[in-house]
Structure 1
């Protein structure tokens, strides 16, 4: 009787152990779903998105690549109509919809629009999702610029340009709520970066700084 009871307990513990990976995957499922939604919304290959991006690139063409990014950001910011999503509902408008129907939405939509436009211009761009636990705190865009484009600003504007470095350049913050290009990072301690093709990865923002 005692052996049978121990056997049942052992089987139960084994089932619990085997279920742990499944439970872990379920807890991380929101990240996969969110990355897919963002990838669908950032439709930078759309004809009208590419056309508008080409227009912006021509209108604000500059030898100084960071200055060009600033001018395009300012242009979009000035034309942007801020509209909140209904409370408790998060909707990601497609970049093509915003280009066709007017530049409007919340800060998440601004991130999707500006990242899509820069990507359509040929500049690497990504979406950053700042969160704490399983709660999303903020979503914003970043554009990658080569080190040569950022070097002139390293000494002259140390407090106004914020970026994350890798070996060849930096990701510059394009947050609608940070007061302009290169503003301070907002949100939680953890960040999920989403490529516009749906790939995603997690980092600690403190580690990346």
Structure 2
């Protein structure tokens, strides 16, 4: 027997109920919009088993979609309230500068891209390496506290990428990429005096942005360190090049997206991001003068020594 007090609620519920097939369409769209941020959060906080073609992440996303779809179907009678609540959350996030509409779109692009175009891993660099040649001279040459070096690096950060928004965690890395762009776009290779291994100080190479591979490495390391980055130099057979620490594998996915889709789109088009993993699982990107984008191909794969500055 229907009670009188239940009639108004039933009428309201019937008016709010969306007719088929639009209810299924709306549920599916709302599902995807909710599933994307949920997937990103879980993806970044669980161990990556490194399955082939990211099968584990694909299965994870399918499972999240299935669970949310079930929940939304159970809430079918109040689906409009779910939509309004979701929109309110996104509007509030957009206004407050937190997770909003732009972040949903960004996460969607990031998720699709990170699954379809992964970086190219390199061999693990072991702790036991040969002594780094000219170590003391190079450490002295990396004048990262010199005002000229600092001012040059700051100038580069105002010239490139200063309008990038939404990546506060990676601000220093992006600024170091600006330094990379400024130096590598202007670098002029000049050999050492015949029969002598000449190590130029960073301020010396800065005058004309010229020198050989170790001079470039010293200048790059000095500039990167002067604005808060962590550089290191890699010694190979007859070559030295700089690298920059970017974090762990989760950071690598974001950096990969930044380089290929925002910062160095033209330079990295159709190419992979190359990196090294050290004994602690940290990721280092190549900043050699031969590379046109951070993480470009290595000039030499044979690693003899590493010097963190």
TM interval, shorter chain, is 0.5 to 0.7
Residue 201 of structure 2 is matched in structure 1 by 94
Which residue is equivalent to 1:138?
239
1:67-82 to 2 correspondences below 5 Å: 68-82=175-189
Q: Deviations over 1:164-183 (max 9, x none)?
A: 23557411101112443212
Match of 1:182 in 2: 295
Normalised TM-score (structure 1): 0.65
> Quick check: 1:85 aligned with 2:85?
no
Greater Cα radius of gyration, structure 1 or 2: 2
CA distance in 1, matches of 2:156, 2:255: 23
1:145 to partner: Cα distance: 1.2
Cα deviation digits, residues 41-80 of structure 1 (max 9, x gap)? 1111112111222222233334454654444322212222
CA distance in 2, matches of 1:127, 1:182: 14
Matched, 1:57 2:163: no
Q: What SS does structure 1 have at the residue aligned with 2:242?
A: strand
Query: Which residue of 247, 271, 276 corresponds with 1:164?
Result: 276
What is the 5 A alignment of 1:106-117? 106-117=212-223
SS of structure 2 residue aligned to 1:79: coil
Structure 2 unaligned blocks of 5 or more: 1-129, 261-269
Cα pair distance change 1:32/1:169, threshold 3 Å: closer
Q: Which residue of 2 aligns with 1:22?
A: none
Compute the TM-score of the two structures, normalised by the length of structure 2.
0.46
- Does the aligned pair in 2 maintain the 1:53–1:117 contact within 8 Å? yes
Give the equivalent residue in structure 2 for 1:47.
147
Output one character per residue of 1:83-116: Cα deviation in whole Å (capped at 9) or x when no partner. 11123211111112223x2211112211111111
Contact 2:132/2:305 (CA < 8 Å) preserved in 1?
no
* Whole-angstrom CA distance in 2 between matches of 1:80 and 1:186: 16
Structure 1: runs of 5 or more not aligned = 1-27, 132-136, 197-209
Distance 2:132 2:182 in 1: 32
Equivalent residues, number = 161
Structure with the bigger percentage of strand: 1
Tell me if structure 2 keeps the 8 A contact 1:115–1:141: yes
Contact 1:164 1:172 survives alignment (8 Å): yes
Contact conserved, 2:232 with 2:306, CA < 8 A, in 1? Answer: yes
